């Protein structure tokens, strides 16, 4: 793989703008090469003319040949450029390249190249320095957290101990993160071993820890050099409160009733200690991941600078890379090793305090192996897809051969059995759309695992989602074939019980797999989904995250699926399923829930918007909530018209649905997708786009409007002669799912670009402890 592709693949997507623009610099180098070739070509033609004149006039002895008159560039200077540091804004160091050769020897293309290179190099250096300063601030916070954790451990293990100085010596075995700020790069720096004591360890239980640490840093030796180390006293526990109480509806209500949380004292018990350890362990894992990404950022940019300068030397034969790379080595990003030192100390601390000095276990948690595609996934995907295709062909042939469409029992089948199987069609189609979204998110480097908050290495790829949808499709088609009878048994005037229970058996099987506690069929993904569903159900009692409202939006496109579940209960509990007969539409209870299940997803989104408005004080959430309130009214009016019929119901349904559709379409395109910006670089789109073909965005906007109007079918009474009413309803519901799948891609693209604009690339894990003095200072 060429370095350009490798460089692009190693980029952290959210930091893309902060990386060296390697591609553009290569373009400038090509301009230099083309200009040089042009000059050489012109010089060759002039040399040819001189040679002809020389031969013509040499007989008279009037011409003397000058062989070096048209040689490009002349001799190469040993010192072609000099790179100087210049103070810029906010005391940041910028780099300027100055030529120390005659000005006519440096082409305009080379001047542009070095100006661009200086800008890119300065940008990278400043960004890296800012990130290191952020890391050092986090180091100070982790130092205080570890002080509390170690003190809490001692107090839990020895409740009777007092706060005497003798006990403080026990705390010496604590992870002490350095709070020293990053030194000024313009001043000479001490060696990092002596300057930074990022994590103090008075003793490592295993020699393997010190031998296996990266870079071969002798942890014990560095600890011995630190004479200013002072262990944290146990009195710190008197000024600390715990923050690791899990968020539940009960805790939310309690927090609303008891607003003064400072009365809550730190409890010295093993349960609280275990919770704090687990939470702080996750903080260390995320912090270690951030350090690794920052170290990779430094390495890749330095390597890119080296590659660019070597290409420049190869093209121009100047020998300028030595001077420029010397400046790179002396820069902050080139000479700083804070990140490497912190990384080693974090690993040592994590292994000792969270993994009982088991380095293999600790490094497995800190450096999880990349998830690799399994051949069996691809094999079963192909196998299930082939079986599904065979069943689908068999189903079509059987229907045509037996002429089941025109048989007497076909109407009864469409009214009773078809709605049962349509539930699986909705689920399968949504899974297929999600798999397609994942495929394109990966193609365009949208960091969907980070945005959704998946645990690293547990997210499903598009192959896994395709496999699940193919397996469910196979089961559903097999059930349809087994339940394809159109005629009752002549003797009993009933259908076979076992075949009529096939749809109920499929639903039971799907629910059993979803809630299965055993580690089979992507347990982590299943539990993540169930947990998110529960948070949507209890919307106002949980802090709303992106995955919560994103999933709630998916549920708003599955209204027909919820109604199918309601029909399952009515059909198998109160209906006569052996005769394929139901009286659900005549039941007042069924009709009441027909309204309720259609409104529940929108009601959940409305409550989420209100919760975000209260917490974030964002007025736009009020308008977003108003959108869902209008949608609830429109759904109620359309449902009323569907059940009651009548001119007045139709008029109210059309007006309410039109208002809701207009506002929802505007919100989709402008707010969720970030499009239709008048003054953007891309007219009526947005400044940054992942898809190079802008026509895709305009097509998506038009399709969103068209598919939004699918509700017209329910109020216009549009009928197709060859389709049953339930089949037409199913098609319209599928169109809404397709629209939602298209919405998903552009919604996450916009979220990804917002993260890129703010360089948000890491999860923010709450710390388990907080100090009273910090809270008071924040309140003040």
- Each residue's pLDDT tens digit, 652-698: 999 999 999 999 999 999 999 999 998 889 989 999 999 999 999 99
Element (H, E) at 82: strand 81-87
Which one has a higher pLDDT value, 509 or 364? Answer: 509
Rounded distance, CA 235 to CA 162, Å? 9
Question: Does position 182 have pLDDT exceeding 80, yes or no?
Answer: no
- Each residue's pLDDT tens digit, 247-262: 777 777 766 666 544 4
Which one has a higher pLDDT value, 555 or 166? Answer: 555
Query: 620's torsion region: left (phi>0), alpha (psi -120 to 50) or beta?
Result: alpha
Check residue 178 and give its pLDDT: 38
Q: Tokens 């080693």 identify what position?
A: 344
Q: How confident is the model at residue 744 (pLDDT cuts 50, 70, 90)?
A: very high
Angle at 184 between CA 117 and CA 14, to 5 degrees: 50
Q: Collapsing DSSP states into helix, strand and coil, what is residue 583?
A: coil
Rounded distance, CA 633 to CA 629, Å? 6
Rounded distance, CA 642 to CA 375, Å? 49
Query: Do residues 716 and 411 make contact, with C-beta atoms less than 8 angstroms apart?
Result: no
Q: Collapsing DSSP states into helix, strand and coil, what is residue 97?
A: strand
Distance of CA 459 to the CA centre of its chain: 10
Question: Does position 363 have pLDDT exceeding 60, yes or no?
Answer: yes
The percent of residues above 90 in pLDDT, for the chain, comes to 41
Query: 112's torsion region: left (phi>0), alpha (psi -120 to 50) or beta?
Result: alpha
- Each residue's pLDDT tens digit, 594-628: 999 999 999 999 999 999 999 888 899 999 999 99
Assigned token pair, 474 = 């196979």
Rounded distance, CA 86 to CA 186, Å? 10
Query: Do residues 95 and 86 make contact, with C-beta atoms less than 8 angstroms apart?
Result: yes
Q: Collapsing DSSP states into helix, strand and coil, what is residue 94?
A: strand
Rounded distance, CA 165 to CA 232, Å? 11
Mean pLDDT of the chain: 81
Query: Do residues 684 and 675 make contact, with C-beta atoms less than 8 angstroms apart?
Result: yes
- Each residue's pLDDT tens digit, 417-438: 999 999 999 999 999 999 999 9
Which one has a higher pLDDT value, 210 or 108? Answer: 108
């Amino acid at each position: 793989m060429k370095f350009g592709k490798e460089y692009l693949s190693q980029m952290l997507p959210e930091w893309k703008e902060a990386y060296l623009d390697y591609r553009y610099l290569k373009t400038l180098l090509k301009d230099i090469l083309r200009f040089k070739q042009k000059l050489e070509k012109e010089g060759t033609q002039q040399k040819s003319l001189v040679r002809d004149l020389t031969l013509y006039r040499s007989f008279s002895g009037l011409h003397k040949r000058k062989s070096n008159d048209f040689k490009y560039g002349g001799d190469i200077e040993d010192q072609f450029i000099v790179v100087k540091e210049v103070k810029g804004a906010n005391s940041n160091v910028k780099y300027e390249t100055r030529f120390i050769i005659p000005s006519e020897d440096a082409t305009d293309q080379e001047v542009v190249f070095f100006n661009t290179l200086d800008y890119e190099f300065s940008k990278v250096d400043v960004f890296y320095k800012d990130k290191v300063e952020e890391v050092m601030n986090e180091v100070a916070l982790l130092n205080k957290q570890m002080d509390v954790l170690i003190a809490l451990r001692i107090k839990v293990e020895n409740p009777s101990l007092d706060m005497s100085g003798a006990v403080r010596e026990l705390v010496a075995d604590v992870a002490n993160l350095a709070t020293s700020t990053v030194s000024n790069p313009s001043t000479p720096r001490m060696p990092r071993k002596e300057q930074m004591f990022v994590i103090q360890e008075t003793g490592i239980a295993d020699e393997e820890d010190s031998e296996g640490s990266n870079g071969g840093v002798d942890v014990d030796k560095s600890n011995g050099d630190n004479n200013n180390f002072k262990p944290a006293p146990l009195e710190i526990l008197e000024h600390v409160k715990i923050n690791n109480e899990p968020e539940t509806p009960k805790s939310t209500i309690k927090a609303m009733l008891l607003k003064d949380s400072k009365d809550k004292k730190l409890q010295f018990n093993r349960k609280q200690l275990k919770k704090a350890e687990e939470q702080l362990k996750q903080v260390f894992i995320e912090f270690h991941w951030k350090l690794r990404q920052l170290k990779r950022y430094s390495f890749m940019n330095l390597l890119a600078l080296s590659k660019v300068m070597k290409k420049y030397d190869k093209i121009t034969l100047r020998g300028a890379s030595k001077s420029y790379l010397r400046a790179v080595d002396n820069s902050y990003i080139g000479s700083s090793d804070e990140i490497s030192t912190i990384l080693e100390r974090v690993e040592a601390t994590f292994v000792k305090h969270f993994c009982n000095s088991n380095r293999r276990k600790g490094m497995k948690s800190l450096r999880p192996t990349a998830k690799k595609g399994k051949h069996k996934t691809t094999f079963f995907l192909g196998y299930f897809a082939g079986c599904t295709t065979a069943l689908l062909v068999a189903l079509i042939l059987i229907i045509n051969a037996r002429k089941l469409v025109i048989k007497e029992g076909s109407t009864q089948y469409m009214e009773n059995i078809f709605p049962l199987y349509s539930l699986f069609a909705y689920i399968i189609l949504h899974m297929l759309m999600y798999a397609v979204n994942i495929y394109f998110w990966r193609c365009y480097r949208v960091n969907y695992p980070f945005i959704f908050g998946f645990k690293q290495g547990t997210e499903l790829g598009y192959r896994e989602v395709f496999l699940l949808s193919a397996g469910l499709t196979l089961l559903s088609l097999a059930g349809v074939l087994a339940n394809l009878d159109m005629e009752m048994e002549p003797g009993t005037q009933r259908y076979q019980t076992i075949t009529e229970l096939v749809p109920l058996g499929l639903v039971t099987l799907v629910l059993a797999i979803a809630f299965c506690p055993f580690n089979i069929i992507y347990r982590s993904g299943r539990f993540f989904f169930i947990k998110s569903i529960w948070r949507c159900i209890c919307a106002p009692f949980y802090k709303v995250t992106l995955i919560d409202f994103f999933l709630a939006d998916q549920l708003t496109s599955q209204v027909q699926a919820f109604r199918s579940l309601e029909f399952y209960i009515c059909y198998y509990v109160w209906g006569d399923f052996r005769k394929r007969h139901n009286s659900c539409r005549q039941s007042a209870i069924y009709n009441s829930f027909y309204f309720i299940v259609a409104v529940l997803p929108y009601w959940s989104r409305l409550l989420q918007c209100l919760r975000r408005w209260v917490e974030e004080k964002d007025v736009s959430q009020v308008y977003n909530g108003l959108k869902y309130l209008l949608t609830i009214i429109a759904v109620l009016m359309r449902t009323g018209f569907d059940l009651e019929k009548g001119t007045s119901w139709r008029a109210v349904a059309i007006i309410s649905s039109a208002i809701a559709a207009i506002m929802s379409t505007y919100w989709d395109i402008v707010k969720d997708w970030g499009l239709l910006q008048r003054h953007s670089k891309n007219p009526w789109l947005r400044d940054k786009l992942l898809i190079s073909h802008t026509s895709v965005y305009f097509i998506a906007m038009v399709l969103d409007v068209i598919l939004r109007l699918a509700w017209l079918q329910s109020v216009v009474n549009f009928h197709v002669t060859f389709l049953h009413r339930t089949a037409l309803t199913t098609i319209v519901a599928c169109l809404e799912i397709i629209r939602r799948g298209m919405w998903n891609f552009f919604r996450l693209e916009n979220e990804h670009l917002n993260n890129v604009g703010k360089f948000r690339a890491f999860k923010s894990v709450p710390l388990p402890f907080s100090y009273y003095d910090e809270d008071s200072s924040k309140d003040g």
